[in-house]
Chain A
Amino acid sequence: MAAKKYVCKVCGYVHEGNDAPSVCPLCKAGASEFEAVKAPKKGLDTNSDIYAILYSVVVVVIVAFLLAGVSSALKPKQEANIELDKKKQILASLNIKNQADAAAVYADVIKADPIVNVEGKEVAAEGGFAVANDAINDTNLPMYVAEVDGAKKYIIPMTGNGLWGGIWGYLALNDDCNTIYGVYFSHASETPGLGAEIASDKFQSRFPGRQVYRDGNVALTIVKKVADEAVEVNAISGATITCNGVNDMLQRKLAPYKAYLDAQAPVVEAAPAEEAAAIVEPATADAEAQEKVEE
């Protein structure tokens, strides 16, 4: 900023320097013809430190208030949407999709949302819907009991990790507490066309009819090559890590419900001999046996 500007009054030549030149290089006019020019000021010096600091503070405060205001104003509406979306997802696991009034259908179909624990005891008869995903643990396991066409269905919520972000879903079981009635998977940010395909009907339609538990463990897995039709599901090629994430989620989230589901399953007499032979763990033999019975 040290250099001042001098303009020649004769020809308009602008000279930069601390003093006016003795002779104008264009029109040869003398130093007296030069006039100092003041830097054009727009009232405020937008380059000063104070201005920059104040400006950033003001901008940030305005933006903060704007966002906070909008966020709190829209929050009730957003939460209602999230709740409705959760209901839609639960219904989707029962293969009820694209309902105009999902809330009414939900109220009609879902009969109870108990909270159970890992020992198979019911902790609370209702309130499962309100349990946040990160509050789910062995003593706080929410689930849903639905009634579709007169038959009871049990729905288990699941959360896990995919390749890029969270994945989640709901798995609906028939009243034998082992055969899958329907599933719903979704994801936050899996690769479109690959991992994101877990959310597609094409993938989800591979599940119904498969069994979840065998020999007291979660046997349901997604594999490259299906060898055992009863518990294995075809994976999505190119989406190995997402599929591994789904496997991990099934394994971790379905196991704690085993005890409760066993207690709910209707007792069926005498399993067919060849299938009963496959059962190794005597403690769960009863439950296992009737799970194997074909419908």
Chain B
Amino acid sequence: MTDEKFVFSSTAKRRLLILAVVGVVLLVIGIFTTMNAGGHEAVEAAGHGADAAAGHGAEAAGHGEVAEGHHEAGWLQRLYANLWFHNVYFAGIALIGVFFVAVQYVAQAGWSAPIKRIPLAFGNWLPIAGVLMLVIWLVASHDLFHWTHKELYEVGGPKFDEIIYGKKAFLNTGFYLFRMVLYFALWYTFFRWMRKEILQEDLTGSTQHWFKLIRISAGFIVIFAVTSSTSAWDWILSIDTHWFSTMIGWYVFASWWVAGLAAITLITIYLKEQGYLKMVNSNHLHDLGKFVFGFSIFWTYIWISQYLLIYYANIPEESVYFFERLNSDQYAPVFYVILLMNFVFPFLALMTRDSKRHVMFLKIVCSVVLVGHWLDFYLMVTPGTMKENGSFGWMEIGMAMIYLSAFLFVILSNMAKVPLVAKNHPLLEESLHHHI
């Protein structure tokens, strides 16, 4: 079989560096403009929020919990929220890379044999994401997570919150940090284990590795099924402590999954255009396109499943989540734009067979979907942490560029360390003749 190795060229490195530098500049500009303009904007926004709360007595229940958490300067809290949603988003994409490889092994899929090293490389971001997550949490937990404030748990105290007190067994700092470390430890261990077997297969050529990988992958998928859901409760759902949604685990997974699939597709296309992956042709791209198309609809299905029931039941403690987003000048447009970018556009643009086979279409749709799910995570985190003071600007865009640059740097440099295409994968021949 072909012996391909990815070379992380200095041009590519320079481009990523430029991207990061531009990102830092934009972030700094964003911080300065927020610091200077922050004062009266915040006052205005607060006034607006008070109006809204007064007008809708029922929904105001949820607003009560927010009141404090504003002791920090606005820009600093915004920076924390910004860091947090980027970290969750990119950790998710890295995790999805490992999950994708696991799914391919468990399904014994042949078509994906030459591209599996791409999602596998995503896993290299997991330890970095884990450390960043831990650091951000330790620094910013009081600004991001309302439930971390001690006074809420003082029985009979002025700020005693019965609902949050009831969740104490699950939402306490020790258990929370233990879970966070456990997730990353489990994910990274399984990633290293799979990677080891995959690289061993290159050397020995024994099919034993392939059979063993099926078993490891099955184990990982069981763990992923639980941890993808519980990590979504921890990192996303617990921001809105009073609110709960039984859909959130699926919702976060769906968003990660589509974003991960789009990222895999884009990097495959990039490598193909650089002259690598000679085995990959439009049939393989067609399959990736189907994944992005199908799971964009899946995401929408989960979205409507969450929204519709809350809308129908109209219980204040549930609808407050959407009330915050829809009755807000800064969040409502994002709310609708997400639906356009993540459902309407990929649904219509990737519907035909031809569009899934053409690189140009895939590039446009996958980029839009990636940005769409990035906005989705923005909208999951920001309204809960920043309340009426959240906004969208250079800070978010700059941070996205920094994260994207770092993520790509890590996975591309790791991709360059190992052969790009498996040498002795038993299904390579099947993939070579893949035709749909």
Q: Are A and B genuine complex partners? A: no
